[in-house]
């Protein structure tokens, strides 16, 4: 790798000459007139191909669940027990404390909030809509669709900093302790979208133990990347459900997950897991909107995945496709931005995203420069509530969808754009 000096410590003359060199490399890239896209956190077709067998399952003669339930018919609102048994260990729960939804976990999160707003949840004094204010803590950078749900329902969003080992717990504990309007908190505890942060055991413990002013405070534990490892290390985090129970807050954890990025993003299965009482509450509401989910899809997932080990083996095959793309991005960042002091990032050990933090005030210009150079990035600000990153610093990179060759080229364009914009800013 090229060794690059800490740019902020250079004289104006040295910096100007570096800028000239960066500008030349950026221009050469732009002249290739490419049209590349790193905005989409979707599996590549090659990954979807790994689950092609699902399209032929369960098969014309195969529709009985283990207990002889006819999956073609109505019913079994909670979802097939054998699918719950397959998924429960991966999400820190037991099958009876899990509900299977249809394909989207985001829909279950949306429903959990809608139910809480309209009806209240276990331990609520009144439906959340009757409270003068309802607020959620939003670790940032975070997932824009979480923030959109809050925005849509008029829930106030309070950003809290997300570090490499989870949210800043001093801030979280202070806020939830003093403000009873804070009813919820978004968490993507493993390989977070977009920074790749993994919550430490200590953070999980503090989240479970902390005292909250709201008696019905809920942690929306969106474990979307529970099994999406990028290295040999299959990182495990403690079960939030168990930790909350241990600390006398059994109803605090609302756990969500799905097989969207395990099998088929548009035709997987989603799950909700929590205390037994919360599961009863959730099923009570859900039973009004549906007579039962798509059990044929649940059965074919059981047939295709077989068991928990089968699912993990499938994830290894995903990893073989996805990990080289992440490595290409990490290599390009290290080569062009390493040691410059103008950009920072975590090399994620799993998940679907990398976020690149550039010098404050540079993210929007960086995204624009990348676009001018032919690489589309997620808009700056999307990682924060209301699309407003107060530092204008964080940009989300999604390398899974394009092929490896494309990712390699695009990552170079991204790194050059970041370098150009930050070097120019230092001279301004
Ligand atoms: N949660 C997170 C953190 C995500 O990144 C995504 C998709 O990118 C989702 C949820 C969507 O999940 P689902 O497909 O189960 O609705």
What local confidence, expressed as pLDDT, does residue 58 receive?
98
Ligand 1 atom nearest the C-alpha of 104 is 16
Q: Is the CB of 195 under 6 A from ligand 1?
A: no
Preceding omega of 58 cis (within 30 degrees of 0):
yes
> pLDDT of 328-373, one tens digit each?
999 999 999 999 999 999 999 999 999 999 999 999 999 999 999 9
Q: What span, in angstroms and rounded, lies between the C-alpha atoms of 383 and 386?
A: 9
Q: Is the CB of 222 under 6 A from ligand 1?
A: yes
> Is 237 within 8 Å of 219 (Cβ atoms)?
no
State phi, psi for 157 to the nearest 5 degrees: -115, 130
Q: What is the mean pLDDT of residues 224-242?
A: 97
Q: Which of 179, 169, 203, 175 is nearest to 189 (CA)?
A: 203
**pLDDT at 416 exceeding the cut of 60:** yes
Q: Is the CB of 187 under 6 A from ligand 1?
A: no
| pLDDT-based confidence at residue 418 (cuts at 50, 70, 90) | very high
Distance 119 CA to ligand 1 centre (A): 25
Q: Which of 35, 57, 105 is nearest to 273 (CA)?
A: 105
The percent of residues in the chain predicted with pLDDT above 70, rounded, is 99
What local confidence, expressed as pLDDT, does residue 2 receive?
43
> pLDDT of 3-37, one tens digit each?
456 999 999 999 999 999 999 999 999 999 999 99
> Is 135 within 8 Å of 156 (Cβ atoms)?
yes
Q: Computed from CA positions of residues 121, 124, 128, 133, in that sequence, does the dihedral angle turn out positive or negative?
A: negative
The residue whose CA has the least distance to atom 2 of ligand 1 is 224
Q: Is the CB of 193 under 6 A from ligand 1?
A: yes
> pLDDT of 359-413, one tens digit each?
999 999 999 999 999 999 999 999 999 999 999 999 999 999 999 999 999 999 9
Q: What span, in angstroms and rounded, lies between the C-alpha atoms of 141 and 263?
A: 27
pTM here? 0.97
> pLDDT of 36-50, one tens digit each?
999 999 999 999 999
> pLDDT of 166-222, one tens digit each?
999 999 999 999 999 999 999 999 999 999 999 999 999 999 999 999 999 999 999
Distance 12 CA to ligand 1 centre (A): 45
Which domains does the chain possess?
A: 7-47+312-427 (3.90.1150.10), 65-305 (3.40.640.10)
What local confidence, expressed as pLDDT, does residue 4 receive?
57
Q: What span, in angstroms and rounded, lies between the C-alpha atoms of 400 and 126?
A: 43
Q: What span, in angstroms and rounded, lies between the C-alpha atoms of 154 and 416?
A: 39
Q: Is the CB of 257 under 6 A from ligand 1?
A: no
Q: What span, in angstroms and rounded, lies between the C-alpha atoms of 14 and 5?
A: 10
**How far from 232 is each of 47, 319, 350, CA to CA, in Å?**
19, 10, 10
Q: What is the mean pLDDT of residues 257-280?
A: 98
The residue with tokens 């995203």 is 353
> Is 400 within 8 Å of 355 (Cβ atoms)?
no
**How would DSSP label each residue in 164-203?**
TTEE-HHHHHHHHHH-TTEEEEEE--SS-TTT-----HHH
Task: Name the 3-class secondary structure at 306.
Answer: coil
**pLDDT at 51 exceeding the cut of 90:** yes
| pLDDT-based confidence at residue 264 (cuts at 50, 70, 90) | very high
**pLDDT at 1 exceeding the cut of 70:** no
**How far from 83 is each of 274, 293, 320, 371, CA to CA, in Å?**
16, 13, 25, 43
ipTM greater than cut 0.95: yes
């Amino acid at each position: 790798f090229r060794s690059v000096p800490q740019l902020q410590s250079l004289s104006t003359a040295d910096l100007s000459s570096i800028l000239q060199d960066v500008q030349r490399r950026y221009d050469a890239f732009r002249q290739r007139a490419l049209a590349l896209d790193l905005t989409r956190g979707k599996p590549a077709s090659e990954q979807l191909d790994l689950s092609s067998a699902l399209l032929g399952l369960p098969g014309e003669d195969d529709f009985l669940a283990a207990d002889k339930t006819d999956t073609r018919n109505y019913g079994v609102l909670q979802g097939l027990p054998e699918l719950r048994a397959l998924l429960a260990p991966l999400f820190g729960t037991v099958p009876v404390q899990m509900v299977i939804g249809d394909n989207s976990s985001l829909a279950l999160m949306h429903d959990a909030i809608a139910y809480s707003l309209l009806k209240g949840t276990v331990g609520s004094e009144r439906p959340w809509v009757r409270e003068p204010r309802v607020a959620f803590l939003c670790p940032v950078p975070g997932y824009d669709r979480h923030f959109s749900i809050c925005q849509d329902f008029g829930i106030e969003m309070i950003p809290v900093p997300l570090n490499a080992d989870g949210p800043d717990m001093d801030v979280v504990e202070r806020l939830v302790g003093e403000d009873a309007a804070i009813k919820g908190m978004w968490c993507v505890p493993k390989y977070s979208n977009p920074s790749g942060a993994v919550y430490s055991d200590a953070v999980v413990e503090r989240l479970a133990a902390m005292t909250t002013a709201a008696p019905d405070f809920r942690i929306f534990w969106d474990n979307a990347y529970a099994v999406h490892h990028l290295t040999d290390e299959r990182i495990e985090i403690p079960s939030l459900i168990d930790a909350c129970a241990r600390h006398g807050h059994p109803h605090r954890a609302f756990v969500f997950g799905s097989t969207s990025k395990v099998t088929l993003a548009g035709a997987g299965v989603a799950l909700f897991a929590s205390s037994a009482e919360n599961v009863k509450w959730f099923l009570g509401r859900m039973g009004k909107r549906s007579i039962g989910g798509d059990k044929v899809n649940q059965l074919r997932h059981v047939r295709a995945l077989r068991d928990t080990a089968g699912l993990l083996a499938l994830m290894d095959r995903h990893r073989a496709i996805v990990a080289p793309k992440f490595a290409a991005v990490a290599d390009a960042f290290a080569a062009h931005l390493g040691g410059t002091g103008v950009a920072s990032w975590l090399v994620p050990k799993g998940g679907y995203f990398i976020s690149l933090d550039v010098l404050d005030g540079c993210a929007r210009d960086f995204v624009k420069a990348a676009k001018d150079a032919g690489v589309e990035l997620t808009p700056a600000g999307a990682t924060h509530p209301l699309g407003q990153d107060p530092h204008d610093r964080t940009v989300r990179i999604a390398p899974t969808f394009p092929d490896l060759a494309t990712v390699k080229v695009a990552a170079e364009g991204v790194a050059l754009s970041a370098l150009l914009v930050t070097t120019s800013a230092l001279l301004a």
